[in-house]
A and B are shown apart, each in its own frame.
Chain A
Amino acid sequence: MSQGTNTREDISDIIKKWKKVEGSLVMMLHSVQSRLGYVPRWAAMEISKETGIALAKIYEVLTFYSFFKLTKPAKYQINVCIGTACYLKGAPELLKAIEKYTGLKDGQTSEDGKFSVMGLRCIGCCGLAPVISVNGKIHGQLKAGDIKTILDEATKGE
């Protein structure tokens, strides 16, 4: 997503919407992330300027919550559930298979921005454990051998 005027306008609309609401910093950051996929520094600075909240405080909040991302997300975001149910049913093996495919370990993003691999704590699909999601699409009841098929399918046409 470019940093064109549209994007900037959207961000200032978000700020305007939440500015007067008590305690809305977290919600504002949620809206920004949902618009841009992450919270870039310029947006944090814009919030600071418009609301008077110190930039340091904004980063304090951003870095506390694991949901917020400070860098641009990869093209293919692979999230692996490492909640209890998934852990017991083989999430570590899935992570290994994903590493084999992408070369990435939990928490890493490839240099070309193609893949990112993140371990998440329970996405509420424990009945389908173990599960992963690729760009939000959930795949359940997996075996390590399924990973290649899923990622081949997701990146088809590359």
Chain B
Amino acid sequence: MAKLINDIKEKFNKQYANIDKRIVVCGGTGCIAGGSQQVYEAFQKEYKKRGLPYTVEITDGCREHSTYISKSGCQGFCAQGPLVSVGDIFYTKVKVSDVEEIVEKTVMKGEVIDRLLYVNPTDQKHCKTLKDIPFYQKQHRILLADCGKINPEDINEYIAHGGYEGLAKALEKGQQFVIDEMKTSGLRGRGGAGFPTWLKWDLTRKPQSKVKYMICNGDEGDPGAYMDRSLLEGNPHSVVEGMIIAGFAIGATRGFFYIRAEYPLAIERVQKAIDACYKKGLLGKNILGSGFSYDLEIRFGAGAFVCGEETALITSIEGNRGTPRPKPPFPAVKGLWGKPTSINNVETLANVPYIMTKGGAWYASMGSGKSTGTKVFAMTGKVKNTGLIEVPLGITVKEVVYDIGGGPLHGDKVKAVQTGGPSGGVIDGDHFHMPITYESLQEIGSIMGSGGLIVMDETDCMVDIAKFYLEFCVDESCGKCSPCRIGGYQLLGYLNKITDGTAKEEDLQKIEEIATAMKRASLCALGQTAPNPVLSTLKFFRHEYDEHIKDKRCHTGKCKNLAKFEITDKCVGCGMCKKACPVGAISGEIRQKHSIDQSKCIKCGQCFNTCKLKAIIRG
């Protein structure tokens, strides 16, 4: 079996020997939005113009001393895109107009163009290669390593990097081997709940059934998270390989990718990967001569958060409204079309090929306690460096936010970090030294979730954040069970009262009662976890709730109905605020202190943003 894989590898390496240099243009969604496709084309044009040999595909036809102009998946540093690397040299914010200079100087003469290097915001150091950038230094990239390097649309390159060796090994050594390695690895589901992957597979393998299904959960509903999207786009073969190995381990006949329709590029790349596998005999009948036959296809999600929940997802693949059903029976016993089914998250599956080739013990050597391996997070919000990061579990929040994230965005203090999206909670400043594991997060009332990690500073109102998440869950509640449908709505009503300034102190008691009822009685985890953001902010930021309720004040100015703008004695009467005010609520003579007519003020904050002297206070 390994022979076929080896042949492909050798052939690719032979073809690649003609490549002298490689230019990688990031083809992740973020960089494409910034114009990376045009940059990619501009490089080809520039080479053509100069008559230099280049190729955009590794084939037998590559001329000697060619440059390989290739695209990669998301490299994680989206805010700095479009990213281009020439060999080791790493350029950020590259525009079409830079291309000529890059070819002229960097490609032809090996010179570095200083202006395009990343400048580290904390020490102003210009970083020449990826390794010089603090954002990457503290990471431990396994899944993402190839993501930013290889061409996601070339199965041969994936194989040349060790791809499908894990599959060959699994097929050779048998189901038990796969399950044992997975058990040793300690890998737990990355979709949120952290269920041991080996156990899920073992439970699905046991029932006798001619037909079994494997599902990859690519619904990625947590708003503010895009790990799965990046993996599917950047290294689709790793997920496809994971799906084939998983299918083999449980004895499945067919597998489904369930990917949100909002991710067209991910869908396209996975489809290409599947097609390439069929061509090479890695899918279909009698895979690699092992006797194992297995088919894969894609089904689209359609914008319903609840469909990320496994039973709802199954109902959706069956062609229905995606509403959840009670468990048990668990999908391992009765899943898709009533057959034993294992459903795993994208990132969970992407880990599998690495565990097969490098061994479960290697995987378990990373991480901390029962949380082994690495985890990909999408770090966003008020930090200097936002982007995709992969870190060993057990790393502290502080290391993530300060060492990798570069600290607070505007110098304001980082107030809290949110994980787990609408089902999760916040970590307050006192817990920043805490190692990130499944257990530790649960202990303080949050969850690992799928990997959204949102940094908040003093300008964010915690009540407003809680309301934001709850609104999301209320919107997305499928309506099937009443604790979630009615409870969520009620809870939101109380939060609205708080942010409007009409709440009473007793209302906090009510909030806790409703939250408890929802947690206990909801049908699926959407409703069971929907109160988490509220409870968790209430636990750590009770004073902010009190401020809204008792003092009728929101010091961040986010809660518009409570906001009050006032002009202080710092005002020099420049008149800027008066011009900016859309409703004419500000009056005053030039060079004299202005004032705001509170009855006219619509609390839009324009004056506050306009004033250069910070003479307007919000509170």
Contacts and interface: CB of A to CB of B under 8 A. Distances in A.
Contacts of B386: 85, 126-127, 129
Nearest to A83: B223
B567 interface: no
A25 B321 CA distance: 10
A70 to B, nearest CB: 13
A67 interface: yes
B468 A84 contact: yes
Contact of A124 (B263, B381, B460): B263
A41 B104 CA distance: 58
Interface in B582-619: 604
A138 to B, nearest CB: 4
A30 B305 CA distance: 17
Given A85-B381, A127-B387, A139-B33, A61 B78 contact: no
Interface in A99-157: 120-129, 131, 137-141
B337 A127 contact: no
Contacts of A140: 30, 33-34
A124 B262 contact: yes
A60 B301 CA distance: 16
Nearest to A24: B319
Contact of B223 (A22, A122, A141): A122
Contacts of B303: 65-67, 121
A125 B30 contact: yes
Contacts of A22: 318-319, 337
B468 A87 contact: yes
Interface stretch (B224-232, B392-400, B425-433): B224-232
A127 B300 contact: no
A61 B320 contact: yes
Given A26-B316, A122-B224, A84 B452 contact: yes
Interface string B452-472: 101010001000010011001
B514 to A, nearest CB: 23
A126 B386 CA distance: 8
Nearest to B605: A93
A27 B263 contact: no
Contact of B33 (A83, A96, A138): A138
A145 to B, nearest CB: 11
Interface residues of B, number: 56
B380 A26 contact: no
B302 interface: yes
A29 B302 CA distance: 10
Contacts of A52: none
B302 A125 contact: no
B35 to A, nearest CB: 10
A147 B478 CA distance: 34
B33 A128 contact: yes
A83 B321 contact: no
Interface string A77-92: 0000011111111000
Interface string B221-265: 111111001100000000000000000000000000000011100
B112 interface: no
B487 interface: no
Contact of A126 (B317, B321, B380): B380
B30 A128 contact: yes
A26 B316 CA distance: 8
A26 B315 CA distance: 11
Contacts of A88: 380-382, 454, 456, 460, 465
Contact of B388 (A61, A127, A131): A127
B299 interface: yes
A128 B320 contact: no
A64 interface: yes
Interface string B256-297: 000001110000000000000000000000000000000000
Contacts of B388: 127
Contacts of B360: none
A109 to B, nearest CB: 18
Nearest to A100: B582
Nearest to A25: B319
Contacts of A4: none
Nearest to B385: A127
A127 B387 CA distance: 5
A54 to B, nearest CB: 12
A67 B261 contact: yes
B322 interface: yes
B166 interface: no
B34 to A, nearest CB: 7
Contacts of B79: 127-128, 141
Contacts of A24: 319
B454 A84 contact: yes
B215 interface: no
B525 to A, nearest CB: 18
Nearest to A53: B319
Contacts of A96: 604
Contacts of B378: 126-127
Contacts of B316: 26
A140 B380 CA distance: 14
B30 to A, nearest CB: 5
B187 interface: no
B304 interface: yes
Contacts of A124: 29, 220, 226, 229-230, 262-263
B458 to A, nearest CB: 13
A153 to B, nearest CB: 14
A64 B454 contact: no
6 contacts: A23-B337, A85-B381, A88-B456, A121-B305, A127-B30, A127-B76
Nearest 4 CB-CB pairs, A to B? A127-B78, A84-B224, A83-B223, A65-B302
